[in-house]
Chain A
Amino acid sequence: MPRSRTIVLTLYILFLLLPIYWLVNMSFKTNTEIVTGMTLWPAEPTLENYARIFTDASWYSGYINSMQYVALNTVLSIALALPAAYAFSRFRFVGDKHLFFWLLSNRMAPPAVFALPFFNLYSAIGLFDTPLAVALAHCLFNVPLAVWILEGFMSGVPREIDETAYLDGYSFPRFFVRIFMPLIASGIGVTAFFCFMFSWVELLLARTLTSVDAKPIAATMTRTVSASGMDWGLLAAAGVLTIVPGALVIWFVRNYIAKGFALGRV
């Protein structure tokens, strides 16, 4: 490999990791150490910040809440998107192209526009401050995304397979679950990854739609401002813990990422 390429990549990776390292570094420091001096690594590493998060219910329940609505949203998005993506990939029907564009345009809609109306809407139907409200709200951009990605994978499956299955006497639901879904399993995996990703990182809507019971962890983090000033160590530790689930998920799907991006549909 030519040297210039190694240099570009190394520098870029360094640039990506440095801010994360700094956060991790800070999470192991005491607050006194953080504010009194600049140290490149913790002089007296402490787990105190993490201990506080794991023992305080108002902290760790944030993680549970986030996980709940992310999981709910991923399942909902995929379940709804599967038949729709199949329709788009296999049939023509009145208004299909317009419908597809309209769906996609919702992926591009700014959440800031929807924050207030969502608040009113979900309060009116009594879902405010539940994980379901956030999961449904995130469907706004995740369902179109799921349709888009799945449609790409489904179009890669030859239509002859459908026809052969019907000739063999398969009913549509049986064909879809038994034959078709296994064929696009990697596509479903990639879709789940992106649904997870966008639901996990979004906060504006998640915070608007929750107050106490379903508050996401990322919103809990704003609490670290106390009377005695910022609790930087605690903030950093909470931040590090929000990076962990994402990192784990990437590790599991690392071999599919490139495939998912290859469709150019994110």
Chain B
Amino acid sequence: MDKPLNQKAWLFVLPVLLIVAFSALIPLMTVVNYSVQDTFGNNQFFWNGIGWYIDLLDPTTDLGGRFLDALWRNLLFSAIILAIEVPLGIAVALSMPRDGWRVAATLVVLALPMLIPWNVVGTIWQIFAREDIGLLGYVVNRLGIPYNYTADTLSAWITIVVMDVWHWTSLVALLCYAGLRSIPDAFYQAARIDGASRWAVFMNIQLPKMNRVLLIAVLLRFMDSFMIYTEPFVVTGGGPGNSTTFVSIDLVKLALGQFDLGKAAAMSIVYNLIILAICWVFYTVMTRLDARRG
């Protein structure tokens, strides 16, 4: 049955519209306004037209090169954590106990990292990975593997990736677990009668049932890792050098560190447009998927 057409529904949506417009549109307008100007402190602004945008999109300039580097770093980071978190999350979801008190206990433990404030997550790993007072850093160094996330790029990356896996794999796992629970037992019984292997059950029953939640998991993890700021900032501060400076970190450095408001604003706009575009692709795929399911 189709939903009835009712234009008065707009009245119900109005409060949400106003509040989100207040917190999204007004700030965005400010950003657009900054992005076409240059400032030399003392709140003096000068018209700069689309100059910053031209710089930003040209990798040979300082600003463009910097943005492109941060963008690549961020995409690489997102790709790595997706490649680890999605399979691991599925594996954990498949290993969840079926029933009893252990389900509740496991769910609570799984959700725990997600409810820790992000800078505390950073603090936890900053401490845990230190070579002098942290268990992980100490043990790894004792094993004879040089590991120091403040000085060595590879160590810093590993720390941040492991931290993100620690922080967010549970989200993928919980989403997949919810998808798995919606599979009726009859499916498994039928598979057992047919003598299907564990792998066949996974490929033909469990994975197709999970594809919607998996898509959402990938979307959320991609988006959130693409705008990650607090956790790596606390752990490495973007270093050593610029090796863990992701787009958001670079943006805050530019805006609040150097007060290059014009450049930072232009970067914000392009950054936002990229996110919007990716978001739209996911949304379209998802609504298609829903429509096909009816």
When distances are taken between beta carbons in the complex, the residues of chain A under 8 Å from B2 are: 92
Contact B28 A250 (CB under 8 A): no
Q: Which of A15, A106, A247 contacts B166 (CB 8 A)?
A: A15
> Please, what's the 1-or-0 string for A130-144, where 1 marks a CB less than 8 Å from any CB in chain B?
000000110110011
A157 to chain B, nearest CB (A): 13
Docked complex Cα distance between A94 and B138 (Å): 61
B contact residues around A235 at 8 Å (CB) = 123, 127
B127 A118 Cβ-Cβ under 8 A: no
Could you tell me if A108 and B268 are in contact, using CB atoms closer than 8 angstroms? no
Indicate with 1 or 0, residue by residue over B177-210, a CB within 8 angstroms of chain A CB atoms: 1110110000000000000000000000000000
Tally of contact residues, B, Cβ under 8 A? 97
A9–B92 touching, CB < 8 Å: yes
With the chains together, A82 CA to B294 CA distance in Å?
25
> Max chain B CB contacts within 10 Å: which of A22, A255, A259?
A22
Q: Per DSSP, are chain B's interface residues mostly helix, strand or loop, or mixed?
A: helix
Known A15-B166, A242-B116, A262-B182: A93·B123 in contact at CB below 8 Å: no
A92 & B109 in contact (Cβ 8 Å cutoff): no
Q: Which residues of A sit under 8 angstroms from B283, Cβ to Cβ? A: 101, 104
Q: Is the CB of B118 within 8 A of A91?
A: no
- Determine whether the beta carbon of B115 is less than 8 Å from that of A201: yes
A197 touches B20 (CB 8 A): no
**Residues A258 and B6 in contact in the complex (CB < 8 Å), given A8-B91, A242-B120:** no
A103 interface residue, CB < 8 Å from B?
A: yes
Provide the bound-state CA to CA distance between A22 and B136, in Å: 10
The number of inter-chain residue pairs (CB within 8 angstroms) is 284
Chain A residues whose C-beta falls within 8 Å of the C-beta of B30 in the assembled complex: 116-117, 120-121
A221 beta carbon closer than 8 Å to chain B: yes
B144 within 8 Å of A by Cβ?
Answer: no
Q: Is B5 in contact with chain A by the CB < 8 A criterion?
A: yes
> Given A18, A76, A101, A264, which contacts B179 in the complex, CB threshold below 8 Å?
A264
Bound-state Cα–Cα, A81 to B18, Å: 12
Could you tell me which A residues sit within 8 Å of B by CB distance? 1, 5-6, 8-9, 12-13, 15-20, 22-23, 26, 34-35, 38, 40, 76, 80-81, 83-84, 86-88, 90-94, 96, 99, 101, 103-106, 108-118, 120-121, 136-137, 139-140, 143-144, 147, 159, 197, 200-204, 217-219, 221-222, 232, 235-236, 239, 242-243, 245-247, 249-251, 254-255, 257-266
The chain B residues found within 8 Å of chain A, CB to CB, are 1-10, 12-13, 15-17, 19-20, 22-24, 26-28, 30-31, 88, 91-92, 94-98, 104, 106-120, 123-125, 127-128, 132-136, 138, 166, 169-171, 174-175, 177-179, 181-182, 212-213, 216, 220, 223, 226-227, 229-230, 247-249, 251-252, 255-256, 261, 264, 268, 271-272, 275-276, 279-280, 283
Known A87-B12, A105-B275; further 16 A-B contacts with Cβ < 8 A: A8-B91, A12-B92, A15-B166, A16-B112, A19-B166, A35-B133, A38-B133, A91-B3, A93-B5, A109-B24, A109-B272, A113-B271, A201-B116, A202-B118, A235-B127, A250-B111
